[in-house]
Amino acid sequence: MNDTLQTAYPGSAAVGGERNRVLRNTYWLLALSLVPTVLGAWVGVATGFSFFAGSPFIGFLLFMGIAFGFFFAIEKFKNSGIGVALLLGFTFFMGLMLSRLIGGVLGNYSNGATLIGMAFGGTALVFFGMATLATTIKRDLSGLGKWLMVGVIGLIVASVANIWLQMPALFLTVSVLAIVIFSAFMLYDIKRVIDGGETNYVTATLAIYLDVYNVFQSLLSLLGIFGGERE
């Protein structure tokens, strides 16, 4: 029966195979991208890396400038090995940026390593849950992207405002909403690959990596606040 369908609709089998290839390559590259992230975090913790800690707003502007520079370059070279190299370089940079949070958790809490493991495990559960849901849900989620982007912009505005406001309640709210929004973005980005909306595995990996990164970062922040044990 399946052979008959493939004979009747030969293009559908080819399209399905191409989508599976993109999804498979995306998952492999996503797994590989964790290596420079961990390396960057380790280097940052070991060297006491601090990105304009005394001037958070300037640090934020520089971070956004560097990040969008990477985004532009990755998009430009996404069809070549240079794009992969740039993506891995970006994930190393993101690991460096994560090192301050990780160093703070390890330095301030006796159970810091456990909290990091819990954040990693929780993020993995979210990822596998969203990936499973993306393969089973039949509904078109293309319209969800605009609303999620509005949510991300709101998170950025609130985070920048809290540089001056220094409101713990706002920080907690942003962290919780970030987990929700980027988990939904994870579902959206994976579903785009499955549905053929994204056909380049480098671009797909970048999008899903940012989702995973933000879920992990926000989850670790919350675990540190509510589960950290002071030495």
Q: Give residue-wise pLDDT tens across range 125-171.
A: 999 999 999 999 988 888 899 999 999 999 999 999 999 999 999 99
Q: For the chain, which ranges sit under pLDDT 50?
A: 1-9
| Cα distances (Å, whole numbers) of residue 222 to 22, 122, 178 | 34, 12, 11
Alpha helix segments (H runs only) across 111-167: 112-136, 144-165
- Count CB-CB contacts under 10 A for residue 114: 15
Could you tell me the CA-to-CA distances from 204 to 27, 95, 215 in Å, in that order? Answer: 9, 19, 17
Beta bridge partners of 230: 109
Phi, psi angles (nearest 5°) of residue 200: -115, 120
Please identify which residue in the block is written with the tokens 């309640």: 169
* 3 state SS of 52: coil
Show Cβ contacts of residue 111 under 8 Å, excluding neighbours closer than 6 positions: 227, 228, 229
pLDDT of residue 204: 97
d(CA 24, CA 152): 27
Q: For position 231, what pLDDT does the model report?
A: 67
Q: pLDDT value at position 51?
A: 76
- Residue 7 is predicted with a pLDDT of 46
pLDDT of residue 2: 44
b vs e for 30-47, b when ≥16 Cβ sit within 10 Å of the residue's Cβ? beebeebbeebbeebbee
